[in-house]
Amino acid sequence: MFRAKVKDLLDDCLNQRPDLFLIDFDIMGDNQIKIILDGDDGVLVEDCMLVSRAIEHNLDREVEDFSLEVASAGATSSLTHTRQYLKNIGRTLQVETVTNQKFEGLLSHTDENEIVIAWKAREPKPVGKGKVTVQKTRILKLDEIKEAKVKIKF
């Protein structure tokens, strides 16, 4: 009952802010509510406060005691939602597949089923000595991806 009410309040708030989307929602046994958000244009502190207030102001602590944490997905968090891939087109990803293959490349395309990453590699020349730089691409189905993270560059 409590979980359903919190989820309804959260859904109502996110319906009013279609640029925000839910990454994780959990309620621990002692009514610790934890919500992780992301947004098409990032998440501001004000966005977290908006969601927090939408929930907190509509629950009665006299009836059900709770704690509430609303946070944004961190810069080092794994990508879990298709909208996260979409907002990171043009950025470098580190991707590990379920078969433990690892790729690092520029995210050039995504849709609801797959991503395309591209990178440059040095390979031996087809004829003669030396190496040549070649452009590589890889199409990965989202269900093949164990973990994908944006590589932060400084």
Claim to verify: residue 53 and residue 89 sit in the same structural domain: no
**145 in the same domain as 102:** yes
Q: Across the 154 residues of the chain, what is the mean pLDDT of every consecutive 10-residue run?
A: 93 96 93 94 94 93 90 88 93 95 96 95 89 94 95 84
Q: Are residues 67 and 117 in the same domain?
A: no
Domain finish residue from 72, 107, 132: 72
Question: What is the reported pLDDT for 24?
Answer: 94
Single out the residue in 72, 98, 128 at which a domain terminates.
Answer: 72
* pLDDT at residue 75 in the model: 77
pLDDT in tens, 43-78: 999 999 999 999 999 998 888 899 999 999 887 889
- On whether residue 118 sits in a domain, the answer given is yes
Q: What is the pTM of this model?
A: 0.81
pLDDT at site 102: 95
Where residue 56 sits, what CATH number does that domain have? Answer: 3.30.300
Show which of 26, 42, 72 is a domain's final residue: 72
- DSSP type of residue 113: S
Which pLDDT belongs to residue 128? Answer: 85
Query: How many whole angstroms from its chain centre is CA 43?
Result: 12
Indicate whether 106 and 48 sit together in one domain. Answer: no
Which parts of the chain are beta strand (E)?
20-27, 32-39, 67-72, 92-97, 102-110, 114-124, 131-141, 145-150
Tell me how far apart the alpha carbons of residues 1 and 130 are, in angstroms, rounded to a whole number: 68
23-31 long-range Cβ contacts below 8 angstroms, 24+ apart? 23/73, 23/77, 23/80, 23/81, 23/84, 24/80, 27/2, 27/3, 31/2, 31/64, 31/65, 31/66, 31/67
Residue 141: per-residue pLDDT: 96
Q: What is the CATH classification number for the domain harbouring 134?
A: 2.30.30.100
Sheet holding 102-110, edge to edge: 131-141, 114-124, 102-110, 92-97, 145-150
50 shares a domain with 21? yes
